[in-house]
Amino acid sequence: MQPLPRADWALFLDIDGTLIEHADHPEGITIPADLPDLLTRLQQVLNGAVALVSGRTIDWMDQRFAPVRLSASGQHGAEIRLAPDAPAVPIPIPKWRQPLEEALAREMEPWPGVFIEHKPLSLAVHFRAVSDHGDAIMARVIELGRGLDGSVEFLKGRFVIEVRQGGHHKGTAVNTFMNSALFAGRQPVFVGDDVTDEDGFRAVRAMGGLAVAIGPRATEQADFRIDTPAEVRRWLANIPPMLERLAS
């Protein structure tokens, strides 16, 4: 079931598995040609209260969704841009990042299908191509990370484990947005597909908002569920005309 839109929504959108389909490689994804225009229309009808909240970097979002520029949080809350014309503000680069990068390059060699995604503030180890070895890979990543810094957090997603600085996640990003001028006073709606989105779900529901889960993954927090990214895009495309009719 899909929620009926309201003009006072604050819309928070995950990207991979939500707005677009997953790919075997992080850079193998396809951005539908009409998606930037759709995001622009949503931005207009919700008076700017639309944000991308993703593990991707804000710079990646700007490049891949150009020409639209949205409020955004990247790297699971480690960087945030509160308005489209505002600067992106990152946390400081963690001291453990460079040593862990070097250790992972060495320790992941026994699994040639592993891809290490180097983000400015975190490291993501993708193992979709060798998913049968996922448990062993994740265990080794956790062992290496904890050996360097006890404050790091490990975020297990779909065929990926990400190492990040503790204290920042999609929920903290939502809370920061909701205390900013564009989003304050609105009903927050978080749309996501993965375990990495659970923090966002918790944050919006604590504020009387809605959690919309995408795909079959089990979650106890979903107020609504949509099966696929293609259906998400169709649902989002219906929001502007519905709100315009309500306003007329």
* Catalytic residue positions, numbered: 14
Q: Give the span between the Cα atoms of 173 and 246, in whole angstroms.
A: 30
Bridge partner residues of 212 (DSSP): 191, 224
DSSP state of 16: B
CB 55 within 8 A of CB 199: no
Q: Give the span between the Cα atoms of 226 and 212, in whole angstroms.
A: 7
Short-list 167, 181, 170, CA closest to 10: 181
The answer to whether the bond into 92 is cis (omega within 30° of 0) is: no
Q: Give the span between the Cα atoms of 88 and 80, in whole angstroms.
A: 5
Q: Give the span between the Cα atoms of 11 and 189, in whole angstroms.
A: 5
- How many residues in the chain? 248
Short-list 213, 230, 242, CA closest to 1: 213
CB 11 within 8 A of CB 42: yes
Bridge partner residues of 81 (DSSP): 72
CB 126 within 8 A of CB 159: yes
